[in-house]
Each structure stands twice: as C-alpha cells, then as structure tokens.
Structure 1
Amino acid sequence: MNADASGRIVLLTTSHRVAPGLLSWPAWQALRAADRVLCPDPAHPQLPYLREAGVEVEEAAPDAHELVEDCAGGRTVVLIPSGEGDQELTDGLARLAGSGRVQMPDLELLPASYDLPGARLLDLVQVMDTIRAECPWSSAQTHDGLAKYGIEEAYELVEAIEAGDREELREELGDVLLQVVFHARIAEEDTEEPFSIDDVAGTIVEKLIHRHPHVFGSETAETSEDVKAHWLRTKAVEKQRDSVTDGIPLGQPALALAAKLASRVRTAGLDVPLPESAGAADLGERLLALAIRAEADGTDPESALRTAARAYRDTIRAAEDEQAD
C-alpha cells in the first residue's frame, strides 16, 4: 500500500467528561496538520474551542466511500465523531477494507482526551439531575422518605460482601452511591441551607486529610492501632463530645448497638460492669435460643436488647461521672 497515495483517516475521539478544549498534544498536532477536519455533530462541545484555536472544522457527515475518496492523493482527514461514536461509518470502513477492491487510506483511532478516575461519577450526577426534574416519583422524594432505602441498601451491601459475590457487590455499591447522590441532589433545593454533592465530597476530603496526618502531614503511624488512636483523638477534638457514647446512632440494630457501646468502653478504658456475666462459648447459639424463646412468648427480642443497650449507655455515663469525680 502506498500511504502517500491513499492518505490517512484519523478518528479523533473525545470524552464529554473532560472540559472541552483540553486535548492531548498528539490530537492538536493531528488537527493542525490535517487537510480537512470534519464533524457530523454541529452541537459537539469541542467545536467552539477548536475554532477559537484556529482549527477550521466543517460540519459534515460523510459515509465510508466519501471519506476514503477525500483522502485521495495522500490527504489527511480528521473526523471528530459524536459522543456516541459513529458505528455505521466504522462498519462501512471495515467492509471496504475487507472487500479488497479499494485502496484504503491509513486508519488511526486517536483518543484526544481520556476519562480521569471517577469521571463516570459526573454521569451519575447528570442523570440524577434529569431524574429529579422529570420523574414524578423522584421529584417528590424527601430526605425522610428516602431514609428507609438507605438502610435497606446498606444491609444488601453487607449481604453481598458476606456472600463473596463480586458482581452483586459492584451493583450494591452503586445502589448505596445512588442514595448519597440522591440526598445531595435534594439538599440543593433547600431554601435555607442548601448544599451539593461537591460540598459533600469536599467535606469528606477535608476530613480524610485532617485525620490522616501520617499520610498528608508530618506525623508517623507504624501500626493500624496508632492510626485508630489518632483518628479517635482527632474526632474527639472535632466533635467536642461529653461522653464516649455520643455519636453512636441508637437507631441501629440492637446487637450492633451493644457491640458499639462495648467497643467504646474498651477504647476509653472505662470500668463498666456488664448487665450480666456471660461467657463467649456458643454465644451465637445462646442468643439464637433466647430470640426464639422471646418470640414464642410474644416479646420482640430486637426491642428488648435495644432497651437493655440504652440502659447500658446510661450506666456508662454514670461510670464516667464517677471517674471524673
């Protein structure tokens, strides 16, 4: 094949998730050296920036034959497809190349911009904006109305983790992420204290940096225990809490609540008596048996344990007061 005679076709792909005009250097070189630059989409976001940079772009949608003919004499044609691509054109070029009857120009696929990690999150935000505006159900939702779904999705995520199902894990992570984006979108509409998904992300970024001085600062941490200890100290200063029980959501499942309270007691080094002595052997079986008997007696074991855990919290606070004295 004589490249000088057959010419060159450059399919220049771009990502709508990157600011228009931010193209790679090879892309700019190809655009400036081309004999013709074509774009079938008059609304392509790159067009104003290319023209501002002095690149002459023609709004044209050639088929495969026309594009090949335009390369005759060694000419180079750069085609900027729409964001969805042009499957019909690429299929046509493939058929011509496979026919053996046409002297094909060199064909190059040149990515002009790449998605950064996390770029698809921009798509999620955009889709959520559209759904919130146009879906009758989504547009009527509130923080309170969605709260139960957040709990359900978190449980389904845990179940996927415990099952070791990678495909299910990916899906459930997406469902949990949706709850975050949905709540942030609703929060934008608050007339008194609005905030956006960017505010949510900015807050957690600041928190992570502040609580990881061994990563982003000058402090050192040699073990995971060192990291946890610093995290708890920093969190205590930030929250200015009066009790180690502050910040523990009492609405969580009772077993998790009891375990969280016990963890806080151990971390704080408090001497708080257990409600009753209990060994660790066969604990799961004994808890299950208690729950079965409670259900048979008409007692909700979840509510019963929650009541006991709340009382235990009060005992912890009493112990803290005694220690302070």
Structure 2
Amino acid sequence: MNAEDPGRIVLLTVSHRVAPGLLSWPAWQALHGADEVRCGEPEQPQLPYLSEAGVTVTPGVPDAQELVDACAGGRTVVVLTGGAGNQPLTDGLARLAGSGRVRMPDLELLPGAYDLPGARLLDLVQVMDRIRVECPWTSQKTHKGLAKYAIEEAYELVEAIEDGDREELREELGDVLLQVVFHARIAEEDEEEPFSVDDVAGTLIEKLIHRHPHVFGDETAEVPEDSRAHWMRTKAIEKQRESVTDGVPIGQPGLALAAKLASRVRTAGLDVPLPEGDDIGYRLLALAVQAQEEGIDPEAALRAAGRAYRDAIRTAEGTG
C-alpha cells in the first residue's frame, strides 16, 4: 500500500424492502474486496448473510475523521447503512472536505439493492401492523365499524377525479388504499377464517390473470371491445350466476343502481320493459336507463349538475 494514498470510502446502502442477502454483484465485490466493513445497526438484516458469505463486519460506525484516518495508506472501508444513509457521517465528511485541510479518500455511494415498483406497500403493511397493535382507536375497529369510511373515501376519490386535482387524487387514492390494508389487517385476527393482505393480493392477481387471456394466455384482443368480451365471459364462468342481477349491490346510489341494472340487461340481450308508475322514482329510473343507453353515467351527470347548482347558490350568496 502507498502510505500517502488516502484510500477509499464506500457507503453501501441496502433497502429493508428487499429480502436480506439479495445484494447486487458490485455490492458483493465491494464487501469481499474491502479492508474493513463497518455497520452501526446491530439489527441490520443483512448481517447474518454477510457472516455466512465470509464477510467480517465490525460493529459501530466511526465519526468522519476516524473514518478518514482508517482509510489512510490506501485502505478501503465499506460502511453499511440503511436506505436512508447515515446523515451525520456524510455531513461530517462534507465538512472535512470543505475545510481544505484534509486529504480526503475517494468517496463512493453504492446502492446494494434497488426497490422494485410497489416496494413502499411493504412499508404500509408494516406501519398498519404497528398502528393496529399500539393505537387505542385503531386496535378496536372492526369491519362493520369501518364500512362507512370505505364509502366516504370512494366518493372523495370520485370527486378528486372529476375535479381534475392531481394532488388531491393522489391523496384520496391513498385513503382508499388505507381502507383495503386496514380491513385486511383486521381479517388476520379472525379466529375461524383469517386472511392477510397477501391473500387479498393473491386473489386479485389470479382474477386479473384469468380475466385477461389475451395478455396471459393464447386469446387475442385487437380492440377494447374484445378485451371487455374476454372479461365478461371469464367473469360469468367464475361467478356462475343464476340471474344477471346477481352481484348488483342494491344499497348503492339509486341512479347508479338503475344504470347498472340497465347495463346488465343490455349485455345479456334481454328485452325487459321498464316498470310503469307515476311516482318520480319511475321517471328517474327511465332517465337513468336512457342515460346508460347513451353512454352517459347518470350518477356523474347528476353530480356535475349538482356542482353547477352549488356554484349558482354561492354566486347568489356572494360567496362564490
């Protein structure tokens, strides 16, 4: 080694969202080729796997000056950190470099593993687990107690979509996702039929694959109508319904209910006359069916008219 060589510092970051031991090849090369490997996290999940691979890890991370001194003479020191890095250490190294009084080692930031798309969902599951255990309010919630929030959050999501507010859309999608993760976490505690968020995701994956034979199978779909036909056909096979009305939630808003029933009738090729009556409900039913036949979502159309009415009210009040 050259006594005047300031050496090299490798800040090796690893993600807790990636299974321990699954490091990149450059990361393993750096670890095996280092003169010293340091880690300040006693519970770092990678440590047992590094030990199995013959990499000796010294516990604790020195301060910036000590680390620079440890590299003197051309030595390479790898510092293993979590994905967030080690802010105090990097700040200290920056101060030393900025002072101009210290000959600094080469500094390399080496990601040991990269998060895959959806990796933050693992964080969400961990946070939900902790909240369920430690939060007095959350720990007492049941499926029934949360049901109303699922409806509210869905409506707020629809409003964000219709308003075209991207920031609000992102937040409301998160609120809807929270309902899914929350219910799945509660379901884990069921004594008779427990299931987890992984079971929920697994069921959804199977459904998506089965209903997209033109993507995951041998079928073809040249236009959107072909894709919808595949979806409806496989769905019908799965559900084995006796009536086209099976699976239509009667508790949904009236206009949406009417439009959904009309859609099922049209898809099935049935000729079903509308029930007649003088009540306003029957007239609204006829309007909803007409809207659906014209490709208009009656519920969305009424909401748009409602917003226009709200704006008119505010204008009349002088608050708009």
Q: 1:8 to 1:234 in 2, by over 3 A?
A: same
Report the Cα offset of residue 60 of structure 1. Answer: 2.2
Sort the Cα spacing of 1:175 and 1:4 in 2 relative to 1 into closer, same or farther, 3 A.
farther
SS of corresponding position for 2:37: strand
What SS class does the counterpart of residue 232 from structure 1 fall into? helix
Q: 1:44 to 1:99 in 2, by over 3 A?
A: same
Does residue 161 of structure 2 align to residue 161 of structure 1?
yes
How does the TM-score come out when normalised to structure 2?
A: 0.85
Partner of 2:143: 143
Q: 1:97 aligns to what?
A: 97
The residue number in structure 2 matching 1:17 is 17
What is the CA–CA distance in structure 2 between the aligned matches of 1:32 and 1:9, rounded to whole Å? 14
Q: Distance in 1 between matches of 2:4 and 2:168?
A: 53
For residues 72-87 of structure 1, what are the structure 2 equivalents within 5 Å?
72-82=72-82, 84-87=84-87
Partner of 1:243: 243
Give the drift of 1:99: 1.2
The residue type equivalent to 2:135 in the other structure is C
How far apart are the structure 1 equivalents of 2:125 and 2:186? Answer: 12
Do structure 1's residue 41 and structure 2's residue 19 form an aligned pair? no
Deviations 1:166-214 (A, max 9, x none): 1111111111011001111111111111111111000010010011000
Rounded to whole Å, the distance in 1 between the matches of 2:60 and 2:237 is: 63
Match of 2:88?
88
Residue 40 of structure 1: how far off its partner (Å): 1.3
Per the TM alignment, residue 83 of structure 1 is displaced from its structure 2 partner at its CA by: 5.2
Q: Corresponding residue for 2:54?
A: 54
User: In 1, are the aligned partners of 2:209 and 2:216 still within 8 Å (CA)?
Assistant: yes
Asked if the contact 2:16–2:82 (Cα under 8 Å) also holds between the matched residues in 1, the reply is no
2:237, 2:137 → 1: CA distance?
Answer: 42
- C-alpha displacement of 1:84: 4.3
Match of 1:106 in 2: 106
Alignment-derived partner of residue 269 in structure 2: 269
Equivalence map 1:236-315=2 (5 Å):
236-275=236-275
State whether structure 2 residue 246 is matched by structure 1 residue 231: no
**Hey, what does 1:197 align to over in structure 2?**
197
Question: Quick check: 1:181–1:197 contact (8 Å CA) kept in 2?
Answer: yes
- Mind listing any 5+ residue stretches in structure 2 that lack a counterpart? 277-285, 310-320
- Paired position in structure 2 for 1:118: 118
Distance in 2 between residues matched to 1:93 and 1:3, nearest whole Å:
21
Q: Given residue 90 of structure 1, which amino acid in structure 2 is its aligned partner?
A: T
> Does structure 1 retain, via aligned residues, the 8 Å contact 2:4–2:74?
yes
Mapped contact 2:160–2:169 kept (Cα < 8 A):
yes
Runs of 4+ in 1 over 4 A off after TM superposition: 276-281
- TM normalised by structure 1 equals 0.84
Q: Tell me, in whole angstroms, the C-alpha distance in 2 between the residues paired with 1:17 and 1:124.
A: 11
Q: CA 1:108/1:59 → structure 2, altered by over 3 Å: closer, same or farther? A: same
Task: Name the counterpart of 2:6.
Answer: 6
Deviations 1:101-143 (A, max 9, x none): 1111100000001111111111111111111111111111111
Q: Look up the SS of the partner of 2:56 in the other structure.
A: coil
Letter in 1 for 2:262: A
Superposed displacement of residue 85, structure 1: 2.6
**Aligned residue identity for 1:240:** Q
RMSD value over aligned CA atoms? 2.2
Shift of 1:267: 1.0
Q: Is the 8 A contact 1:3 1:105 kept in 2?
A: no
Q: Counterpart of 2:5 in 1: which secondary structure?
A: helix
| Residue number in structure 2 paired with 1:184 | 184
Amino acid in structure 1 at the alignment position of 2:113: S
Query: Which whole-Å deviations, capped at 9, do the CAs of 1:20-42 have from their partners, x for residues lacking one?
Result: 11100000000111111111122
**Structure 1 residue 272: Cα displacement:** 1.4
